[in-house]
Amino acid sequence: MSTFQAPKGTYDLLPPNSATYLAVREAISAPLKNSGYGYIETPGFENVELFARGVGGSTDIVTKEMYAFETKGGDQLALRPEGTASVLRAALEANLHKGGNLPVKLWYSGSYYRYERPQKGRYRHFSQVGAEAIGAEDPALDAELIILADQAYRALGLRDFRILLNSLGDKECRPVYRTALQDFLRGLDLDEDTRRRIDINPLRVLDDKREYVQERLVGAPMLRDYLCEACKAYHEQVRELLTAAGVAFEDDVKLVRGLDYYTRTTFEFVHDGLGSQSAVGGGGRYDGLSEMIGGPALPSVGWALGVDRTVLALEAEGVTLDIPAATAVYAVPLGDEARRVLFGAVTELRRAGIATDFAFGGKGLKNAMKSANRSGARLALVAGERDLAEGVVQLKDLRSGEQTPVALDAVVEEIRRALG
């Protein structure tokens, strides 16, 4: 029989490396939990229309990368390609915005799916931790989110990342700019695909990474020069708050991002050790999204950080997280009576909160001690018939090799002391 493999563009998280992923999720969510964000979990799939309207019918995410399907019952669904539309949908559905306590601040962690061309750092199934602050227009809220992401990356020990910042304007000034940009782009010699993009999503052309496109873009009108006074003042406040918080950023007037819903503040976290897939996270303000999916006007801001790429960034910087060994104590019984007694001691230790494992499967002493060492445990608890007859078990320090007998009824206490 042939064996199965993980689908193309996916990979499995396996121990011991999987512990790093858990630690990254924890490190990213910790500053959010500490800042008034509550945990939200939404389904892995949604009505396809939510993403078509929310993310934008002209984006690559919706037109090329979405896992859309029809169920046996005829529902048109899609695996979620991103988190914001779902979170806003859930908040609206539950009327969280009507509790008289805006902004509604939520964080999430989960799997996302995009049918992309796989390469290092780009997968078809990936993992994000995200945050959304719904229902307030306040530059301090935009600044808060950027500061919290910066705090998360720094807590992980990352240093070689940069924050790119831009303002995309609002519904007053962006349409004027859009028209000016379209006029400029239509005068350029560009390929068919790109020309089509000029009609549906001209700002994305600025983001095109191809050199021949970038060469032609010299002299293009810049959104910065079209921002209305309100947008300019708003952006200036975000910048000042970041500076006051000691968070360095770079103004990137070409930063557009791949989703249609952004207004005003947009930002991206890029890491310089990752090659072409350098964005480790990104986000921005989406003041119009609620109305686009049938809700009331709810100016909001959020971000999503990629867990997979954050792990790659840690590797690129040579940072290893300080992850405590999963097992502190490893029990090795010699003989049937010892198995029974030591298994009891293991249960007791675990109930006392001490991470403990056991040599299952009737291994011989040599093999069992090998497993003990591999487990990363500091202590082994070894007992044979003679020990039991004396009412003791042997406590072996796996680093020094030193072994001391301990009374069976004092095991938890002694181990607690030995572990410090």
Q: Which is nearer to ligand AMP, 202 or 306 (CB)?
A: 306
* Interface with ligand AMP, residue 304, by CB under 6 A: yes
- Judge contact between 118 and 50, C-beta under 8 A: no
Question: If binding is defined by CB under 6 A, does position 267 make contact with ligand AMP?
Answer: no
Which of the ranges 118-126, 170-178, 224-232, 287-295 carries the binding residues for ligand AMP, by CB under 6 A?
A: 118-126
Residue 281 interacts with ligand AMP (CB under 6 A): yes or no: yes
- Rounded distance, CA 247 to CA 245, Å? 6
Per CB under 6 A, does 50 bind ligand AMP? no
Of the candidate residues 37, 51, 107, 123, the single one contacting ligand AMP (CB under 6 A): 123
For ligand AMP, the closer CB: 112 or 234: 112
Q: Which of 25, 40, 82, 144 binds ligand AMP (CB under 6 A)?
A: 82
We find the least distance from the C-beta atom of residue 122 to ligand AMP, in angstroms, to be: 4
Closest CB 307 distance from ligand AMP, rounded Å:
8
| Least spacing, CB of residue 290 vs ligand AMP, in Å | 18
Given 28, 141, 279, 331, the residue binding ligand AMP (CB under 6 A): 279
Edge-to-edge strand list for the sheet holding 392-397: 356-358, 329-333, 379-383, 392-397, 403-407
Among 26, 60, 116, 337, binds ligand AMP (CB under 6 A): 116
Q: Does 378 bind ligand AMP (CB under 6 A)?
A: no
Integer Cα distance of 64 and 221 in angstroms: 29
Q: How many residues does the chain have?
A: 420
* C-beta neighbour count of 326 within 10 angstroms: 13
306 makes contact with ligand AMP (CB under 6 A): yes
| Cβ 157 to ligand AMP shortest distance, Å | 18
- Unique residue bearing structure tokens 């560009």: 190
Nearer to ligand AMP, 264 or 378 (CB): 264
CA–centroid distance for 244 within its chain: 26
Exposure b/e, 164-200, CB count within 10 A at least 16 = b = bbbbbbbeebbeebbebbbebbeeeebeeebeebbee
- Closer to ligand AMP at the Cβ: 126 or 153? 126
Which of 37, 51, 108, 126 is close enough to bind ligand AMP by CB under 6 A?
Answer: 126
At 67, which amino acid appears?
A: Y
Q: Could you tell me if 242 and 147 are in contact, meaning their C-beta atoms sit under 8 angstroms apart? A: yes
Does 309 bind ligand AMP (CB under 6 A)? Our answer is yes
Burial 93-119 (b: 16+ CB within 10 A, else e): eeebbeeeebbbbbbbbbebbbbbeee
Q: Which residue among 169, 282, 284, 302 contacts ligand AMP (CB under 6 A)? A: 282
Least CB distance to ligand AMP at residue 126 (A): 3
Query: According to the binding rule CB under 6 A, does residue 25 interact with ligand AMP?
Result: no
- Minimal distance, residue 55 CB to ligand AMP, in Å: 9
For residue 329, give the H/E element and its range: strand 329-333
The single-letter code of the amino acid at 237 is: Q
Give the whole-angstrom CA distance, residue 244 versus residue 333: 60
The answer to whether 319 touches 349, Cβ cutoff 8 Å, is no
Cα(62)–Cα(414) distance, rounded to whole angstroms? 60
What is the distance of C-alpha 133 from the center of its chain? 17
Residues that bind ligand AMP (CB under 6 A): 82, 114, 116, 121-123, 126, 128, 258, 279-282, 304, 306, 308-309
